[in-house]
Structure 1
Amino acid sequence: MYPTPVQQAALLEQCRQARYVWNLALEQWSMWRRDRGPTPGYVQQCRQLTEARTAFGWLRAGSQTVQQQALRDFDQAVKNLHAGTHRRPTWRKTGLHEGLRIVGSQATRLVKLNRKWARVLVPKVGWVRFRLSRPVPDAKSYRVTRDRAGRWHVAFAVVPPPIPAPGAGEVVGVDRGVTVSAALSTGELLTCPALSDREQARLKHLQRRLARCRPGSNRRRRAKTAIATLLARAGDRRKDWVEKTSTDLARRFDVIRVEDLRVAQMTRRPKPRPDPERLGRYLPNRRRAKAGLNRGILANGWGLLVQRLEHKAAGRVEKVSAAYTSQTCSACGHRESGNRENQAIFRCVACGHRANADVNAAVNIAAGRAVSARRETPVRVSSKREPQHATSA
């Protein structure tokens, strides 16, 4: 979106009011105790919002649709928490959560100007121009957001249909890594684009400048905006790569098998290790090395890639246990830690099979191999062999 300076001020005011209503609802919900009665629900909070708009002019000057939708979004967030699909709702902060949502008949007030431009009528703001990145769908709501780099975006809420399967019966395994973002069982090695060396040097220079800035100064604000612009550029490249890669895999293969990884737990910071001999002191826990690994995992879009695959290839994504897939030979099935010579080379000590380590793991994932209860890889046998009785140890 490309709002004028006056429209930007009006949009920021609408975002501030929506954030204020959300935080009030979160505060009420957080005050629940077992010895007290239930906290106000969505209907009661809407009545309270009407009373607050009558009492406060600055709140009445905003859009009731935006403020009421903030309450509805919070109610949905609480339902998602109880359903186990999302985490606990958090506080919304200035500069970090800048957005508003428009629903109902007001969301259909859209005019297409030409092939590349259109405009949308935002309540209490006016007609705002935006650039068309794709055809506008028939949506019942849209959301306006502002990122840390100061860019405004409008997103129309529509669930696109999944990509149909090619019907060739092809199965592919995807092994995610840090050096190689995604290795396919077909032998392809895909790398997510990141910041260049000059951009990384620029980012480090800006971070050092930010550390020397006085809190609250204009110089600090400009440095933060420059850092956010570089990080937004890296995020745009990562999202673009994920979209193109997931679309290509959904169109080429009928079944896509990936490792069952819990990325959120893998990227958590290590717990501190208290020193038993010195009270109040802690032992080294390699948190800086873990922080570098976390940055590498997040920069390669592990979770986003699988998420978009599940959206585009619905019902065709299978998750395989990741245990010992990198130590198992894809040719003979022998598993040993010495099979992997280094990060890139795999050489089986039993049969001598040599291949790229990531591709070998992707072949195991494509075959759906996982360790058994005895932590052993099942031996591949002929399908024509008669079933054998299990013998006790």
Structure 2
Amino acid sequence: MLTGRRYLLALTAEQEEFAEKIGDACRTVWNTALEQRREYRRRGGFIGYVEQARQMAEAKKDFPWLSEAPSHTLQQTLRDLEKACKTHGTFKVRWRSKHKSAPTFRFPDPKHIAVERISRRWGRVKLPKLGWVRFRWTRPLGGNLRNATVLKDGGRWYISFCVEDGLVASVPNGGPPVGVDRGVAIAVATSDGQMRDRKFVTPGEAARLRRLQQRLDRQKKGSNRRAATRAKFARLNARVRNRRTDFLAWTANQLTRDHGMVVVEDLKIRNMTASAKGSPAEPGTHVRAKGGLNRAILAKGWGGLLFSLEHKARYNGSRIVRVPPAYTSQTCNSCGHCAPENRESQAVFRCRACGHQANADINAACNILAAGLAVTGRGDLAVGRSAKRQPPVTVAA
């Protein structure tokens, strides 16, 4: 299986400046190629990777700064763009902003990459045109190197190695199934009564984030002071993201290790966190409340939890099942009565039919588990009709 290994880089001043140039070149190639693809689509035509790579090679004659970046990184940028356009659509792929998008570039050919360990805490990697770069050796690679990605996050430079660890998917662990409900007040609630949550931002950090945001709004765009404030803001947000990532990975490992099947709701998080501002002609309603809900959903990392569950399940012998999320929070797990009035508050569920009372998140997790058991018992994956319920096929004599 393919897995990732991320390490903290220790770039010199010259290497950091050159890495910024490579990131700028890759961003320019991405934006230019995306605009070209959109223009072709508007005219009813199409342009792909092969033609864009050829045109980029010719553009290096007119723009020498493109030749400073390793050619493989620019070609990989075009390949990533083509994959994104095929997956999401040309007009839905986002631009790479100079201020909002962190510099990132990938070296796809392992033949041009060399990794060595030089001490107990340090290793080094040889990258094209960057030379030997030291990084903190926190764990061994544990497999054959496939590619390397350099990125900047929170003011620090990292390198991510994609390695083939030689492992195969684990056999089913035989553990009991469990339903998982992702919430806003409590991050994770399970059908067996456990609730997992963590504060990712301390009160002091929250106050500092507000002050930095206020300072950022007052400063002039493009000024050095605004750049310094943005750097502080990015470092603090990176610290919060690291805590969230650690919590999600730990929770996913515990769930997939102790349970043979983990059932989650198939939530459309992108649609759920869409803005409610509307348009000038048709303005939205309850915009501030919807914005607060969007921030709360994103702060709990619903999408990151599902990604971690699917990753850990390969190694722990578990299975991830998605079920439709409709009415899981309004249905009584005891009698099946469904009504909006059953959920009295964020935490209290009281059935109006049978009087069953429980924590609202745990009751929803039990409904999610029941839906998952019903789906797997019929042999389908909650998509379309069950194979056992298909109309019989008549064969002509």
TM-score range, shorter chain: 0.7 to 0.9
Distance 1:356 1:98, change over 3 A: same
SS in 2 for 1:31: helix
Distance 1:159 1:331, change over 3 A: farther
1:345/1:357 contact within 8 Å kept:
yes
**1:154 matched residue in structure 2:** 159
Cα deviation, residue 182, structure 1: 0.7
**1:362 matched residue in structure 2:** 365
**1:90 matched residue in structure 2:** 94
Q: 2:208 aligns with which of 202, 216, 226?
A: 202
**1:220 matched residue in structure 2:** 226
**1:340 matched residue in structure 2:** 343
**1:112 matched residue in structure 2:** 117
- Rg: which structure is higher? 1
User: 2:200, 2:112 → 1: CA distance?
Assistant: 36
**2:58 matched residue in structure 1:** 51
1:98/1:146 contact within 8 Å kept:
yes
1:193/1:241 contact within 8 Å kept:
no
SS in 2 for 1:335: coil
> What code does the residue aligned with 1:152 have?
W
Query: Is 2:19 the counterpart of 1:19?
Result: no
After superposition, give the CA deviation of every residue in 1:310-360 in whole Å (9 maximum; x if it has no partner): 233257111122222222222222333332222112222333322211111
2:348/2:358 contact within 8 Å kept:
yes
Distance 1:363 1:107, change over 3 A: farther
What percentage of residue pairs aligned between the two structures are identical? 42
After superposition, give the CA deviation of every residue in 1:126-182 in whole Å (9 maximum; x if it has no partner): 2111113332132221100112x2111111123665763663340100011100011
> What code does the residue aligned with 1:352 have?
G
1:107/1:141 contact within 8 Å kept:
no
Number of positions where the alignment pairs a residue of Structure 1 with one of Structure 2: 360
**TM-score, normalised on structure 2?**
0.83
2:38/2:91 contact within 8 Å kept:
no
Distance 1:357 1:64, change over 3 A: same
User: 2:162, 2:247 → 1: CA distance?
Assistant: 22
After superposition, give the CA deviation of every residue in 1:62-101 in whole Å (9 maximum; x if it has no partner): 322222222222222233336xxx9833222224141111
Instruction: Answer with 331-340 or 252-261: which moved more.
Output: 331-340
Distance 1:329 1:230, change over 3 A: same
**TM-score, normalised on structure 1?**
0.84
Structure 2 runs not aligned, ≥5 long = 1-8, 375-397
- What is the aligned-residue RMSD (CA, Å)? 2.5
> What code does the residue aligned with 1:246 have?
A
**1:391 matched residue in structure 2:** none
> What code does the residue aligned with 1:92 have?
R
**2:295 matched residue in structure 1:** 295
User: 2:84, 2:293 → 1: CA distance?
Assistant: 31
Q: 2:107 aligns with which of 102, 122, 144?
A: 102
2:265/2:368 contact within 8 Å kept:
yes
Instruction: Answer with 315-324 or 359-368: which moved more.
Output: 315-324
Cα deviation, residue 207, structure 1: 1.1
Cα deviation, residue 35, structure 1: 5.3
Query: Is 2:336 the counterpart of 1:328?
Result: no
User: 1:187, 1:369 → 2: CA distance?
Assistant: 17
Distance 1:33 1:88, change over 3 A: closer
After superposition, give the CA deviation of every residue in 1:261-303 in whole Å (9 maximum; x if it has no partner): 11110000115276xxxxx6x6561111101000000010111
Cα deviation, residue 221, structure 1: 1.3
